[in-house]
Amino acid sequence: MERKHRQRDVFIRRLKEARQRLGISQAAVGIAAAINPEGASTRFNRYEKGVYEPDMETAGRIADVLNVPLPWLFAEDENLAELILNFAALPPDFQHQLLETSRKMVNELPDDDA
């Protein structure tokens, strides 16, 4: 129960942060994410306040409108959140290079059993 509450707080904070960074209204995000235009502002406001939680399909559309990867909205760790944004900003060949580098780094970690 506590983790769900913490996860919701992360989602709420990131949702608001991404929207404010773009300088767009709650209604504009809601309408662009195909939320019912008559209630888009109210619905999105309730997402940002944690009263309602969007389903994953809606969360994905909201992430697209906010130009952020969906996993970023849920990343609790700030380093991971930054890595997600940075990875998404890279062209595909750089993404592949970063992925290969991270695999090598993980494979070079010392075993805990040694």
Alpha helices in 23-91 (DSSP H): 26-32, 40-49, 56-66, 78-89
Q: Give the pLDDT of residue 91.
A: 98
pLDDT by residue (tens digit) across 46-84? 999 999 999 999 999 999 999 999 999 999 999 999 999
Residues contacting residue 36 through CB under 8 Å, at least 6 positions apart: 43
Per-residue tokens: 32: 């662009």
Q: Cα–Cα–Cα angle for 36, 46, 44, nearest 5°?
A: 40
Q: Give the mean pLDDT of 90-114.
A: 91
Label residue 37 by pLDDT band (50, 70, 90): confident
| R_g (Cα) of the chain, nearest Å | 17
Q: Give the pLDDT of residue 106.
A: 95
| Residues composing the chain | 114
Residues contacting residue 72 through CB under 8 Å, at least 6 positions apart: 14, 18, 63, 81, 84, 85, 88
Specify whether the backbone of 50 is left (phi greater than 0), alpha (psi in -120 to 50) or beta.
left
Given a cut of 50, is residue 114 above it in pLDDT?
A: no
Q: Give the pLDDT of residue 3.
A: 67
pLDDT by residue (tens digit) across 5-24? 688 999 999 999 999 999 99
Q: Give the pLDDT of residue 5.
A: 64
Residues contacting residue 25 through CB under 8 Å, at least 6 positions apart: 41
Q: Give the pLDDT of residue 80.
A: 97
Q: Give the mean pLDDT of 79-92.
A: 97
